[in-house]
Structure 1
Amino acid sequence: MPLSAYSPRREIHHRSIDMKAYVREDGLFDVEAHLVDTKPFAFARIVSPVPLPAGAPLHDLWVRLTVDDNYVVRAIEASSDVTPYPLCKEAEVTLSVLVGERIASGWSARVKERLRGAASCTHLMELLIPLATTALQGIIGARREGQTSVDTSKVPVKLDSCYAYGRHRAVVQRFWPQLFQPETGTPPDTAEPEAHST
């Protein structure tokens, strides 16, 4: 286990989220998410006098985004196989307000603006945020499929978009030296950078 040793404990909830990206034969991309929530004990519910058995799903939800090469959402689909209330399934169609939006800077804010609160299902809405990064990783990877090396002069870097891409860090110094800016009063970062997936 990569984390430190933990204190004595017992499991009380398990949320599993699986995301995959696919390239379609028509040139579009499908990005799918599957969320399942379970409890390791019988769970009392408002809607039924019978507790949900241990390990049975409380939520079993699917979302599919179809995007084009420019990261524009061309279609969106959801399926709520298991929900707390039958009414929850009606929220599937609410995601369609994002058709035509582009996955880019500000995506998370647009998703929350359009779908927060009673406008949609909280869990479906929350899946759309990491689905965007899954789409980006998938499409970038598909563009590099079959390549044996990467020309960094053709790879745009968003400075300060993450820790490794800090303008004063070794990754930028090594691969984009023209953009490197050492921290004032601090020697340059000399750590050897590892390969980055983007």
Structure 2
Amino acid sequence: MPPVQPTVTRRPLHRRALDVQVFAREDGLFDVEASLIDTKSHDVPLAGETRRAGTPIHEMHLHLTVDATLTITAAASDTRWMPYVGACGEHGDAYARMIGLNLMKGFRQAVQERLGGTRGCTHLTELCQVLPTAVIQAMAGSVIDTREGDADGNPPFQLDRCHALRRDGETVAKFYPRWHQAPETATNVS
């Protein structure tokens, strides 16, 4: 399918850039550095001042350390640009509340419970939502076995998590035959 082509002239208004980088440490742990940066293409009034075009409205960073099971062992945040200086970055060590959470087991819901609403920063909490898949992608095939499943006999974690990797589909039949399941037989009811 071709990309949607605009039929009218347009001008950029806003850009949000998300970046997640994962690093292997020599002690066997992994560092995760994530950032969210919002910029405008035009000057905007903001908290009694003018924020110039291209200058960040938000620049926020999360720093995590995780172990090989994807459990968070350290967490911190850093807000460098914000709309309300002296207020936005004053959530203390709120993001340290992620310590002990596992990126593969209920992470997104637990982050909402611990940091949603006024318990944290909207933008940093939203940034947390992309962390599980980004970190899993970094570790897939090296730290996480994506071929044979786990020691308990469960299939690889990625199966049945998207339409391409549904266990009754052609992709799984071809690349993961051990885990393929026959499609359910549809019955017509008159």
TM-score range, shorter chain: 0.7 to 0.9
Where 1:51 maps in the other structure, the secondary structure is strand
Q: Is the 8 A contact 1:32 1:131 kept in 2?
A: no
TM-score (norm 2): 0.84
Q: Is the 8 A contact 2:21 2:34 kept in 1?
A: yes
Q: Is the 8 A contact 2:167 2:179 kept in 1?
A: no
RMSD value, Cα: 2.2
Number of equivalenced pairs: 178
- Residue 140 (structure 1) shift: 2.3
Q: Is the 8 A contact 2:16 2:36 kept in 1?
A: yes
Q: Is the 8 A contact 1:58 1:82 kept in 2?
A: yes
Q: Is the 8 A contact 1:37 1:57 kept in 2?
A: yes
Consecutive unaligned residues of structure 1, counting only runs of 5 or more, are: 145-149, 187-198
1:18 aligns with 2:30: no
Question: Identity, % of aligned pairs?
Answer: 34
- Residue 177 (structure 1) shift: 4.6
- Residue 143 (structure 1) shift: 3.3
- Residue 141 (structure 1) shift: 4.3
Runs of 4+ more than 6 Å apart = none
Larger RCO (CA within 8 A; separation ≥ 6) = 1
Matched to 2:38, the amino acid is D
Matched to 2:99, the amino acid is V
**Structure with the larger strand share:** 2
CA–CA distance in 1 between the matches of 2:121 and 2:15?
19
CA–CA distance in 2 between the matches of 1:55 and 1:178?
49
Q: Is the 8 A contact 2:140 2:146 kept in 1?
A: no
1:1-198, aligned counterparts within 5 Å?
A: 3-8=3-8, 9-45=10-46, 47-48=47-48, 50-85=49-84, 86-91=86-91, 93-143=93-143, 152-154=147-149, 156-158=155-157, 159-174=159-174, 175-185=176-186
Cα gap change, 1:169/1:92 in structure 2, threshold over 3 Å: closer, same or farther?
farther
- Residue 151 (structure 1) shift: 8.6
- Residue 113 (structure 1) shift: 1.1
Where 1:35 maps in the other structure, the secondary structure is strand
Consecutive unaligned residues of structure 2, counting only runs of 5 or more, are: none
Q: Is the 8 A contact 2:103 2:131 kept in 1?
A: no
- Residue 142 (structure 1) shift: 3.8
- Residue 163 (structure 1) shift: 1.0
